């Protein structure tokens, strides 16, 4: 059974940094793409970042230059380093695993989801 577990969320001040981690269990994921999504209250879940099996990456426009996605296949873990956080980044952040190798940006492209971790950017 494939499970994804996110960690690293919490409260941070504007301009601060935070690193989220997502551990995948139940299978190795070196051949799979992994993505991060977020959902703010009253809004649809949106794509934030993704990384393919061969380390190609893609980002939400507002995340480019501030967020970095990375993966450690030996640890079955994907990270999302977030710098220069803004109040509008406040949301529940989810990691998701594709059965396919290439990255994608649609929620429907991903097959497995974590439970999410809350990120709040506020004074």
Residue-wise pLDDT for 64-96, tens only, equals: 999 999 999 999 999 999 999 999 999 999 999
Quick one: what percent of the chain has pLDDT higher than 70? 100
With 90 as the cut, is the pLDDT of residue 29 above it? Answer: no
Separation CA 44–CA 105 (nearest Å): 14
With 90 as the cut, is the pLDDT of residue 28 above it? Answer: no
H or E segment at 121?
Answer: strand 117-121
Separation CA 29–CA 44 (nearest Å): 27
């Amino acid at each position: 059974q494939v499970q994804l577990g996110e960690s690293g969320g919490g409260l941070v001040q504007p301009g601060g940094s935070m690193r989220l981690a997502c551990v995948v269990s139940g299978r190795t994921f070196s051949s799979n793409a992994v993505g991060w999504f977020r959902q703010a209250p009253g809004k649809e879940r949106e794509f934030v970042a993704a990384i393919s099996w061969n380390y190609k990456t893609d980002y939400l426009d507002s995340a480019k230059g501030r967020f970095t996605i990375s993966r450690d296949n030996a640890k079955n873990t994907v990270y999302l380093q977030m710098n220069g956080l803004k109040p509008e980044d406040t949301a529940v952040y989810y990691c998701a695993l594709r059965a396919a190798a290439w990255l994608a940006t649609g929620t429907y492209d991903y097959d497995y989801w974590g439970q999410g971790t809350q990120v709040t950017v506020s004074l």
